[in-house]
């Protein structure tokens, strides 16, 4: 009997210990998940976070930046300029001055496009007109040399920008050349006679347009490479060259010319004196009428 009681007490003590352990474990878990726990609470992020610094201002990239696709204007050295100069001189000997100007232009690599001369007359001065073509790089020096041949009356220089015209011609020539090449390929591979005839007709028209554009482009390139200089040289005084008389009939002609000159001079003198003669006649008529009136009264 005493042994049975001892085993019963040990079993009761073990059960009691197990119950106490389970109870403590349950309370610890409840305390860890309870909202009223005394553990320190982290402050709200919105209330304690410092305000973020403002981002520095960055200027927008320029419109012509590296990523801009806007077409940029051509630089000055890429521009195509057609220069035209007009110069008027007065010289003692117009022919000699024109010859020297021609030599200056030829030495500069240019040429003479046209030349016309007027020997002058009693009512006009001798005149030589030249159209000169000068390499554009030597225009300024050529003008300086020619101005030393006489007295400068007028000088004008014009510059026309033809870059857009040149670019347009180049683009049209390239497009037409591509079209001509395509038509040649069609004609080479064509097996239908009708298609071949149509391709030949189209090729003839395109080739004519291409030749015309190439001629325009060559003319424009020549204008760009060679400046035009319009030179006019005038004599200092009126009058033409002295007429020469030879032999007997030459002297007869000289006498006739003298008589014609005298008659012409007399007519010119009469025209000069005619207003004065009219005024004198009017004054004489008034005086004569006044004298007659006074004579009658007396």
CB 187 within 8 A of CB 199: yes
- In sequence order, the β-bridge partners of residue 131 are 114, 230
| pLDDT 10s digits, 33-43 | 444 434 444 44
pLDDT (tens digit, 0 to 9) for every residue of the chain, 298 residues total? 444 455 556 665 556 656 655 555 555 444 444 444 344 444 433 334 444 444 443 434 444 444 444 445 555 557 899 999 999 999 988 999 999 999 999 999 999 999 999 988 767 889 999 999 999 999 999 999 999 999 999 999 999 999 999 999 999 999 999 999 999 988 888 888 888 888 889 999 999 999 999 999 999 999 999 999 999 999 988 776 666 677 888 888 888 888 888 888 899 888 888 899 889 999 988 888 888 888 887 7
Asked if 130 and 101 touch (Cβ cutoff 8 Å), the reply is yes
Rounded to whole angstroms, the Cα distance separating 227 from 15 reads: 124
Q: Please tell me the distance from the alpha carbon of residue 232 to that of residue 98, in angstroms, as a whole number.
A: 9
SS3 233: strand
Q: Are 233 and 128 in contact (CB under 8 A)?
A: yes
């Amino acid at each position: 009997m005493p042994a049975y009681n001892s085993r019963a007490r040990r079993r009761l003590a073990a059960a009691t210990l197990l119950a106490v352990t389970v109870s403590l474990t349950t309370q610890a878990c409840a305390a860890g998940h309870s909202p009223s726990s005394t553990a320190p609470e982290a402050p709200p992020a919105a209330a304690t976070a410092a305000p973020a610094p403002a981002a520095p201002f960055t200027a927008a990239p320029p419109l012509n930046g590296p990523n801009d696709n806007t077409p940029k204007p051509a630089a000055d050295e890429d521009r195509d300029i057609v220069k035209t100069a007009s110069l008027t001189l007065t010289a003692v000997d117009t022919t000699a001055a024109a010859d020297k100007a021609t030599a200056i232009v030829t030495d500069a690599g240019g040429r003479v496009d046209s030349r016309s001369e007027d020997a002058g007359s009693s009512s006009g001065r001798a005149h030589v007109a030249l159209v000169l073509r000068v390499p554009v790089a030597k225009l300024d020096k050529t003008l300086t040399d020619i101005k030393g041949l006489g007295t400068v009356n007028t000088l004008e220089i014009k510059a026309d920008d033809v870059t857009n015209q040149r670019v347009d011609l180049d683009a049209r020539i390239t497009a037409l050349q591509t079209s001509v090449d395509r038509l040649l390929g069609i004609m080479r591979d064509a097996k239908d006679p009708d298609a071949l005839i149509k391709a030949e007709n189209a090729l003839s028209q395109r080739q004519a347009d291409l030749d015309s554009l190439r001629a325009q482009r060559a003319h424009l390139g020549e204008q760009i490479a060679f400046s035009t200089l319009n030179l006019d040289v005038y004599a200092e005084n009126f009058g033409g060259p002295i007429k020469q008389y030879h032999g007997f009939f030459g002297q007869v002609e000289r006498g006739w010319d003298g008589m014609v000159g005298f008659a012409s001079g007399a007519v010119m003198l009469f025209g000069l004196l005619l207003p004065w003669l009219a005024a004198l006649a009017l004054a004489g008529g008034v005086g004569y009428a006044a004298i007659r009136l006074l004579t009658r009264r007396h």
